Amino acid sequence: MALAERILAGDVRAAARLMRDIDDGFKSAVEELKVLYPHTGNAFIIGITGPPGAGKSTLVDQITAAYRRRSKRVGIVAIDPTSPFTGGAILGDRIRMNRHAEDDGVFIRSLATRGHLGGLSRSTGDVVNVMDAMGMDVVIIETVGVGQDEIDIVRMAHTTAVVMVPGLGDDIQAIKAGILEIGDVFVVNKADRDDADRTARELAAMLEMNPDKDREWQPKVLKTEASRNRGIEELVNEIEAHRSYLHHSGAIRRLLEEKNTRLFLELLKERLFAEVYGHIHVNGKFREIVDGLVNRKQDPYSAVEAILAEKFGGVKN
């Protein structure tokens, strides 16, 4: 059977192999994803983001345990830094979640960023879809922890939890630049540290000053100690409350429309670029264009128009 058919039949090894093919960019993976797509859209996707050192991996481990106690199957996509030697993921996150390795109700996949900005890997969305088709009730995405620019997660997750930790320096600086806008839940982890209460108060004050503070869903600031399993049930309850809000308010429809619009446009841009660039690269036109630009015998705007006209039947902008 094809990989997709085996996955739908419950073959975990087939799922792992397809995820590897997706991450490696094999074209054959696309055909399998086409088969799986009608069977997706059932999993609840949770994004966990925040700066390095916030304890995201330990928090994900505890959230997973909490959902397993509720008899939910959990998929975890851990985005790790890229190894400078192999180009693969540095598997720190998977090590921290090792206690779930023997649990058939948990599937963990580490992905390397491979230079992709925004805290996610290029293949994250497709891997999430595979886990969705596998029958996972909840899929947790843990971003790489690069800091303030990890806003890609809000485009993929249904609920996004922003994790902060006291003692990282300038707390206010750490929650600027879009982080306030993406969080549905805010978590001050390692709450046993000094200044945890101050960090929570500052976060709450920043949320009060948010221009969107009058929207229906009001994000809360929760305190946790993931290493001691404190505050985890309260956090999961708040995540579930946001899930209920999305469905009862109808906001889930708008979220899914935006998510699928972005997916289609990204795939379209990727495919169009590959088609056009592949054509001019193979026939030597690309080298000719570059030489013309360097010698100032051709401008880049006319060059692009000429390529598009040639590729798409003489239609110019």
pLDDT digits (tens, 9 = 90+) for 268-300: 998 899 889 988 988 899 999 999 999 999 999
Does the predicted TM-score (pTM) go above 0.75?
yes
**Burial group, residue 109, by CB count within 10 angstroms (0-12, 13-18, 19+):** buried
Residue 143 near residue 162, CB atoms below 8 Å: no
The token pair that represents 85 in the structure block: 């030697």
Q: What's the pLDDT tens digit per position in 102-135?
A: 889 999 998 876 544 444 556 888 999 999 999 9
Domain 40-249 falls in which CATH fold? Rossmann fold (3.40.50)
Residue 47 near residue 143, CB atoms below 8 Å: yes
* Burial 195-207, CB ≥16 within 10 A → b, else e: ebeebbebbeebb
* Sequence-ordered list of residues with C-beta below 8 angstroms from that of 314, at least 6 positions apart, any chain: none
Q: What's the pLDDT tens digit per position in 50-77?
A: 888 888 999 999 999 999 999 999 999 9
> Which pLDDT does position 216 carry in this prediction?
84
The span from the CA of 33 to the CA of 19, in Å, is: 10
- The full set of domain ranges for the chain reads 40-249, 261-311
Query: β-strands 138-142, 74-80: how paired?
Result: parallel
